[in-house]
Amino acid sequence: GISTIFFDFVYCRRQNKKSIYLDDFEIGSVCLSRNSKLYLKSWYLIIDLYCYPSDISILLPLRSGISYKGAVDMELSLEFVQDTIDWCLRNGLCLRATTNFAQAVHAPISVFPSTIHKDMYQKSIELQYLIHKLIDKMSTDKEFIFSIFEPISKVDAFVNRLFQIYKKYPDGNNPITFAVIRTDYMEHVSDSGRVELKQVEYNTIAASFACLSGLVTKLHKFIQKRYDFESKFTGCLPDNNSLIGIADGIATAFKAYGNEKHRANVLMVVQPFERNVFDQRFIENRLFEKRTLTEVDEHGSISSNGSLLINETEISIVYFRAGYSPNDFPTDKEWRAREMIEKSTAISCPNIAYTLIGFKKIQEILCQENTAGLPLKRYLQPNEAKFIRSSFMKFHSFDTKEELISIVSKNPESLVLKPQREGGGNNIYGKDILPFLNSLNDDSFSSYVLMELINTKPFLNYIIKDGKVMKANLISELGIYGVFIKNSNQILENKVIGHLLRSKSQGVNEGGVAAGYGVIDSFERGRVRTKTVKRASRVLIEKYYPRLTLDFQTNKRICDEVAVISTKRLRNKIAGFTTHLMKRIQKGPVRGISFKLQEEEREKKDNYVPEISALDTSSIQIDSTTEELLKSMGIENLTGVSVVQEEIVDERKARRVGK
């Protein structure tokens, strides 16, 4: 009888010897027991097998011996890879195919999550609130914006067109400010070996992959459960609800718009033929419609009261997923649409001021040592400015093209040249910088910024891209999403909504996923191992015992002085356990600490004579018996000695009370 169908026309038949054949070639065997299982000889047949009888179940075991930590040392089975790709396709973790607009392919992904130190992740969240505050303060400072972009607009045509719109509508026509901001970081390993969180950039417009990043977290949780990796993970995968956060933010802004009596839509501005369409569709399915800038120009208008209309439908919010690149403005139609949106009373996410603040020149101004204090001191408290400055990499300032070339010539491999552009694929790295600078016009160099390259430590992982599995050394970039909404001076929403982790192969400079450079990743928050803390504390006591005290804060400062510790969390744990051991040494022997050191400490304690007595000799009370004793010794007139009447206690009453 017919057992299985391949491509609807090739048949497998089960014969008496319980083997399965494909056109007289044996491909497997079947056992029709109560728990029936089908064993296939060739892995490639799994891909084509999609229909089988109800009394046979497929057994597709993962190759034995694979664990999370050891998986990168072994080959993944085809079943594992196929399960992963199928999960992506059925859950929308996809991009449009480049060869056919009507087809979808799975997004490039990592197989296993990366590891981010827990305190690094926590610091990035704390920094995000300061980034919101700083960007908002800068966006309302007209003098600051004019001083920065007036010179750049003379040499950069794209910046000039945006700046001209800003000069026409510096305050906009709606008091509501709405922005979805993503700040990107990498773990930087300094020359001393310390691991620090350093800012790559912040994005005020079209921060993508908020939805797909949440799906990758779910994918990695699925892999953990399906293949029993949960016990192998050293940390936990944090929840990632960026989609819900953006949708809730749009709903809050829509409510603040105030036109609930009439039908007002939310408009998403997108690029034509967008590959990353599924990331947008998740938000669209919750809220609104989509249009390109060209369609906004063709079908849009402004009503008599200033409202933005698309096909006579009022638009309350315009959420930009395009408009950050010159490629988004091929004709004057797109520029007219951008100006129409800014001129209307619709809420722009972001408005034109936020768009300008997102350019790299602002990041350079904040990070330069000679000018960084100006905006930071103006908009933030001293402790806030110090905290946010700790995440900045060094930017080099230059006034002439010759000066820029001179700086790059000294050590080009440690530098990256950035234009005022977003979207990936725009930066120039290392040895490519000098030839590029030589090809520039004398004036256009001033629209670029020069940044020190972040030095991060690679890790080994599998990636799946275009259906192929590759093992590679990866480096990761962590993005934190935040939503900021205010009405005039009243803040309606200011919160962190999720994260994005993108990884790329070591040696690949750009990290844009949609641009084809990286993969979407997730991360587990690493834990501090107790074994490491105990060993470090004992070494610290052996070498620096005379300096250590019983005070945690003092010991914490000593840790910073005498050791290079990668994170504050690890430093605090070592200082805490060191303080605990110091207190135990005062009481008795402690295992693992030099016996000689402990004996010397106890001898010092036994022979210790304080300079000031702990007894108060100014007033000493004695009873009558002691007074008689002092008189018999001839020293009854001692200073500060007073006699107190001895209390007589009834012994029988005392015994009754005791019972």
Residues assigned a catalytic role: 182, 201, 203, 208, 360, 418, 422-423, 502
Q: How far is CA 484 from CA 190, 305, 423, 454, 528, in A?
A: 33, 27, 22, 28, 33
Helix (H, G, I), strand (E, B) or coil at 345: coil
Query: Which one-letter DSSP state was computed for residue 614?
Result: S
Q: Is 358 exposed, middle or buried (0-12, 13-18, 19+ CB in 10 A)?
A: buried
How far is the C-alpha of 210 from the C-alpha of 188, rounded, in Å? 24
Report helix, strand and coil shares of the chain as percent, to nearest 5: 40, 25, 35
Are the C-beta atoms of residues 455 and 188 closer than 8 Å to each other? yes
Are the C-beta atoms of residues 203 and 182 closer than 8 Å to each other? yes
Are the C-beta atoms of residues 386 and 405 closer than 8 Å to each other? no
Are the C-beta atoms of residues 469 and 43 closer than 8 Å to each other? no
Q: How far is CA 177 from CA 180, 253, 345, 483, 496, in A?
A: 10, 8, 12, 11, 17
CB atoms within 10 A of CB 142: 13
Q: Report the candidate in 37, 84, 43, 91 with the shortest Cα–Cα distance to residue 63.
A: 43
Are the C-beta atoms of residues 117 and 532 closer than 8 Å to each other? no
The structure tokens listed for 61 are 């075991």
The structure tokens listed for 136 are 């908002």
How far is the C-alpha of 362 from the C-alpha of 156, rounded, in Å? 15
